Structure 1
Amino acid sequence: MAPKKVVANSEQTENPQAKSGGDTKSERVIAVSAAEGYTGSALLELLASDQFKDGYAKLVGLTFGEPKEDTKAILEETGVETMMVDKVDENKLKELGVDTLCLIPPASKEKMELVKHVLELGKKAKSVQNMVLVSSAGADYAERDKQPRLREFIDLEVLAMQPKSDPSTGDTGHSPCIVRAGFYMENLLLYSKQAQGEGQLPIPIDPDHKFAPVALGDVALLLATILVSKGPHGLGDEVRGQLIVCTGPQLVAGPELAEAASQALGTKLEFSSVTEAQAKKILGSEGEELDDDSLVRDGKTNYVASPPAFKMVTGQDLTLPTDWFQSYQDSFKRKKRRTTK
């Protein structure tokens, strides 16, 4: 499920520890894919802000397809240069001076081939020193026959790590980092109509299944901080060569998530356990892949990972579910029905 955009909170935007580069502007050139997606556009928006703009010399968005209206508006507001991946070759990467690539796989069934293509461009250019891949938490627990789209992220991780030990690729991939992002809180926005109209939060899990959803703004903050970090070999030593799992800070079951929403909204919101088929009907085309939910149902997400690491890298605490629902209260507060006199 595609997460929606989220804006960093005021605490994050004032975070001095997330800045890099000191008083001089960095010469780093950062390219981000998939810029047309929610994660990519949120990351570019944050990188273009005052908080991070001194951490690089140029910012480029690589797209695998046309952005939707909301992400298109974000990209236009940031003023970031974007270009289709199929119109970029290794010579263009060199011309742009790209030395840092944040590779966010697109929400597509063809993500393996598309990511392979970008990695090959980087290998041929031999100059993309810093390689940050956004993977998925729980991908190592996914089964190929049961959660195939999720398991593909492990294959992508292998591909992203290969240049490190391949001298023929030059500097490309010499300074890597993999971030496994957890289940996005923003996925819950897909159920906002049910929340507003029926006071229900329908999720295809049982009441006792637990997971630790993470705010998209937190993932964007972590990625941005990594991308502008600096060390003697490229990325900062605290993140270079790391595999960072980024879940939310709190393990919750469906009813606990609904309770957190109720506290934040000041109105009752109840958890509703639905089947995968019912969820797909509610979500329409956006519910084609429910691998994340399948992991939750299998009991493979009963852990919280990253609060200490997240704070060490960003200087911030992860967003609690109650705070997240508070920031999105207009999307979840139940609308009162009109009555005729």
Structure 2
Amino acid sequence: MKKILVTGGLGFIGSHTVVELQHEGFEVIIIDDLSNTTIGVLDNITEITGKKPDFHQIDLRKKKEVTTFFDNNKIDGIIHFAAFKAVGESVQNPLDYYENNIGSLVYILQEMRNRKLDNFIFSSSCTVYGQADELPITENAPVKKAESTYGNTKQIGEEIIEETCKAHHLNAIALRYFNPIGAHDSIKIGELPLGVPQNLIPFVTQTAAGIRKELSVFGDDYPTPDGTAIRDYIHVVDLAKAHIAALKRLLNKNNKQNFEFFNVGSGKGSSVLEVIKAFEKASKKPLNYKIVGRREGDITAAFADTTIANKELNWKTEKTLDEALSSAWKWQLKQS
């Protein structure tokens, strides 16, 4: 049984990936500092899978704690989610983002190098493309100057990993994913950010539930059909399964290069207003929203061409936007 470390494993994407790993028979070790989640997620994972993952509360910015962990645990592969992830917040607090997102990555890679460990999957982002010249976005699209500090940490992270792969014969895959939404079919895990949500869907569901007074739509003057920004929304369970496919590719030595990267999305772009209308239909709840100014760091449109991931990872999305929004609403209702 292969032992897989999942950093940020109690977070939104991490927890769903842990569930899929356990379903596939992997032994999972989770590291999380609980800065944007709660320990209760561990119990909910256990309820779904019937097996409690090994959990370590570690701040990956603390190098000694990272070294101690690797001294005491044998690892066959790593899926690295742990990072700050809010675009707007990153512009306001760039140094915090660089310290956390880059520092923790370097410390983990150093331990892998020192111990000759292999098989690393990086949680990257479509933000590395900035505002792409052509849509849908393929892996051949140039990586442009980042629009936000968050996006820059993903660009720099990929560069660090690629250089490490060349120097130390590490095998790694970066998954450049678009906008994960939704909740597990069991409605036992979902997206539950601490404090005010930074992402669209939890703000939508909290507004519908009366927790937030209204939803702010950042800009209606973009050059899009309805003036609002367009994104590619992927169900989080589909995204989690992409990580399993990438991990198996590395473990089975099917990768064609030491460092590979793949777009992971639904392949369909939806505007903010389209998402609002789809949510109102799925939840049968009218949504109180208002148009405000654009948010710094946001781009006009981004949606994926997933042809390469479909072929190379033998993976494709299975769930629709409506299914994702419906599950997100069920998850929100369970929190009330």
TM-score, normalised by the number of residues in structure 2:
0.69
Give the distance between the partners of 2:173 and 2:146, measured in 1 at CA: 28
Contact 2:28/2:53 (<8 A) preserved: yes
How many pairs does the alignment contain? 276
Equivalent residue, structure 2, for 1:99: 76
Q: Where in structure 2 are the equivalents of 1:116-131 lying within 5 Å? A: 116-126=106-116, 128-131=117-120
Q: Which moved more, 1:138-147 or 1:40-49?
A: 138-147
Equivalent residue, structure 2, for 1:17: none
Equivalent residue, structure 2, for 1:295: 298
Correspondence 1:203 to 2:203 = no
Contact 1:90/1:124 (<8 A) preserved: no
SS of residue matched to 1:295: coil
Give 1:227 deviation, angstroms: 1.6
Q: Where in structure 2 are the equivalents of 1:38-77 lying within 5 Å? A: 38-49=12-23, 52-53=24-25, 56=26, 58-65=27-34, 67-74=37-44, 77=47
Percent of aligned positions with the same letter in both sequences? 12
Compared CA separation, residues 146 and 326, structure 1 to 2 (3 A):
closer
Give 1:223 deviation, angstroms: 0.5
Alignment equivalent of 2:122, drawn from 130, 133, 139: 133
Give the distance between the partners of 2:213 and 2:283, measured in 1 at CA: 11
Give the distance between the partners of 2:176 and 2:9, measured in 1 at CA: 18
Compared CA separation, residues 116 and 308, structure 1 to 2 (3 A):
closer
Give the distance between the partners of 1:229 and 1:249, measured in 2 at CA: 22
Contact 2:4/2:77 (<8 A) preserved: yes
- Structure 1 spans left out of the alignment, 5+ residues: 1-26, 277-289, 334-341
Contact 2:129/2:146 (<8 A) preserved: no
Give the distance between the partners of 1:153 and 1:145, measured in 2 at CA: 9
Contact 1:30/1:60 (<8 A) preserved: yes
Q: Which moved more, 1:309-318 or 1:104-113?
A: 309-318
Give 1:119 deviation, angstroms: 1.3
- Per-residue displacement from partner, 1:92-134 (whole Å, max 9, x unpaired)? 53653313111123226222112111111111111x2211111
Compared CA separation, residues 154 and 259, structure 1 to 2 (3 A):
same
Contact 1:182/1:212 (<8 A) preserved: yes
Equivalent residue, structure 2, for 1:192: 205
Equivalent residue, structure 1, for 2:264: 246
In angstroms, what is the RMSD of aligned CA positions?
A: 3.3
Contact 1:311/1:317 (<8 A) preserved: no
Give, as a single letter, the amino acid of the residue that structure 2 aligns with 1:247: G
Contact 2:172/2:250 (<8 A) preserved: no
Compared CA separation, residues 304 and 272, structure 1 to 2 (3 A):
farther
Give 1:161 deviation, angstroms: 1.5
Equivalent residue, structure 2, for 1:35: 9
User: Which consecutive segments of 4 or more residues in structure 1 shift more than 6 A?
Assistant: 142-145
SS of residue matched to 1:237: coil
Compared CA separation, residues 201 and 318, structure 1 to 2 (3 A):
farther
Equivalent residue, structure 2, for 1:80: 53
Give the distance between the partners of 1:189 and 1:256, measured in 2 at CA: 16
Give the distance between the partners of 1:227 and 1:247, measured in 2 at CA: 17
Equivalent residue, structure 1, for 2:193: none
Contact 2:158/2:174 (<8 A) preserved: yes
- Structure 2 spans left out of the alignment, 5+ residues: 85-95, 132-143, 183-198, 221-225
Give, as a single letter, the amino acid of the residue that structure 1 aligns with 2:178: G
Give 1:312 deviation, angstroms: 6.2
Compared CA separation, residues 90 and 199, structure 1 to 2 (3 A):
closer
Equivalent residue, structure 1, for 2:243: 223
Compared CA separation, residues 106 and 90, structure 1 to 2 (3 A):
same
- Per-residue displacement from partner, 1:210-262 (whole Å, max 9, x unpaired)? 121222222111112222346653xx337974311122332111221122223
Give the distance between the partners of 1:306 and 1:165, measured in 2 at CA: 26
